[in-house]
Amino acid sequence: MALPIIENPRYELTLPSSDVQVQFRPFVVKEEKILLMAMETKDNNEIVNATKDILKACTFEKLDIESLPMFDIEYLLLQIRSKSVGEVANFKVICPDDKQTAADVELDLSTVQVQVDDDHSNKVVIDEERKLGLVLNYPSLGITKAGFDVNKENVETMFNVVASCIDHIYEGDKTYPAKDSTKKELVEFLEGLSQKAFLKIKKFFDTMPQLRHEVEVTNPKTGIVSKVTFKGLQDFFQ
């Protein structure tokens, strides 16, 4: 005998990076299990592959998931989770005042938004006199699969990832699109920068939009109230 077919509701959200309206459905149990198991492995490739497959399914394969900026991915996943398991979620956090006591925190996931630093810019000026600089794109899920982390000890990986985010280089009125250069040429350009110039590029990654939310937590032992910041997928999917 055929079992009943469960119809999942459809919801709509706006992507932070583009204001594009996207329809989505909640996770099914199997999908959330796959994602949580991937996160437990802490293996970047497994997490990225699970995220990509689940988001494609939950958005009815209407989005190019690999090209989305990571903060869009984070926001989309969190909104899907809020409609799947409930908008209010309970977390355990370590109290900042003694750095050892665990406390329960209740968080309304529907209130969590992508935050942007006031001084953030994707335009990096390398030499003001020469009017030399570059414009960067946000790292996407596809780039993240390569192991995105500008603080990585693996210098070669770091330069390759940063090179992948370059949209174009400019000098005065002349523009050099990244698509017209090889990865090797872009990496060599980055390697020729001063430490001061490269720190400006690093600032772009350090301050780029991110899923972030601050909550107050009371230490059950000391009674001291502190603030705790949730940021990134790992914090919201613990």
pLDDT at 168 over 70: yes
What is the pLDDT at residue 203? 93
pLDDT in tens, 171-224: 999 999 999 999 999 999 999 999 999 999 999 999 999 999 999 999 999 999
Q: What distances in angstroms separate CA 137 from CA 87, 167, 191, one per listed residue?
A: 31, 6, 19
Secondary structure percentages of the chain, helix, strand, coil, to 5: 40, 25, 35
Confidence bin at 150 (pLDDT 50/70/90): low
Q: What is the dihedral of CA 151, 154, 160, 165, to 10 degrees?
A: -10
pTM of the model: 0.84
Query: b/e per residue, 53-78, with b = 16+ CB within 10 A?
Result: ebbeebbeeebebbebbbbbbbbbbb
The answer for residues whose C-beta is within 8 angstroms of residue 8's C-beta and 6 or more apart is 25, 26, 28
Residues 90/106, Cβ–Cβ less than 8 Å: yes
What's residue 13's pLDDT? 94
Tokens 């409609």 -> residue: 83
| pLDDT of amino acid 237 | 73
Q: What is the pLDDT of residues 35-60, one digit of tens each?
A: 888 888 878 788 888 889 999 999 99
Report the pLDDT value the prediction gives residue 17, as an integer from 0 to 100. 92
pLDDT at 151 over 60: no
Selection from 207, 226, 230, 206 nearest residue 217 by Cα? 226
Phi, psi at residue 216, to the nearest 5°?
A: -95, 140
- Mean of pLDDT values over 55-72: 93
pLDDT at 42: 77
